[in-house]
Amino acid sequence: MFDKLLEAQQKAGEVKKRLDAITVSGSVEAGRIVVTANANKVIQSVNFDPEFLRGADQEELEELLVTAINKAMEQADNISQSEMAAMTKSMLGGLGNMF
């Protein structure tokens, strides 16, 4: 049983490393604001089109930035859930031998 717990911990660490290496992004206004993150939901960068930035007001920028962040986080969440589901399925397959 202890071996299975260690294996689960190791696989979780492997999934975290894979998620760190996966890049997702959220963009708005045809790419005028782009937020890039990894699949562990860590923001890597925020880019603004300079022309768009000059003409936008603060409230508009804030709303669009929040939207871009939420899009990136949604992608990261979807990928994370898929990776964790695959790990869980793999682990449950091995747990059948314990009982």
Could you report the per-residue pLDDT of 1-40, keeping only the tens digit for each?
678 778 888 888 999 999 999 999 999 999 999 999 999 9
Classify residue 92: in a domain, yes or no. no
Would you say residue 99 lies in a domain?
no
In a domain, 21, yes or no: yes
Is there a domain that residue 4 lies in?
no
Neighbours of 97 (CB within 10 A): 7
0.85 exceeded by pTM: no
Strands of the sheet containing 43-48, edge to edge, are 23-28, 33-38, 43-48
Q: Could you tell me if residue 64 is inside a domain?
A: yes
For residue 58, pLDDT over 50 is answered with yes
Residue 96 burial class via C-beta count within 10 angstroms: exposed 0-12, middle 13-18, buried 19 and up = exposed
**CATH label of the domain that carries residue 41:** 3.30.1310.10
Q: In which band, very low, low, confident or very high, does the pLDDT at 99 lie, cut at 50, 70 and 90?
A: very low
Q: What is the total count of domains within the chain?
A: 1
Which residue intervals of the chain are DSSP H helices?
2-21, 50-55, 58-95
| pLDDT digits 0-9 by tens, 76-87 | 999 999 998 888
Exposure letters 52-62 (e unless 16+ CB within 10 A, then b): beeebeeeeee
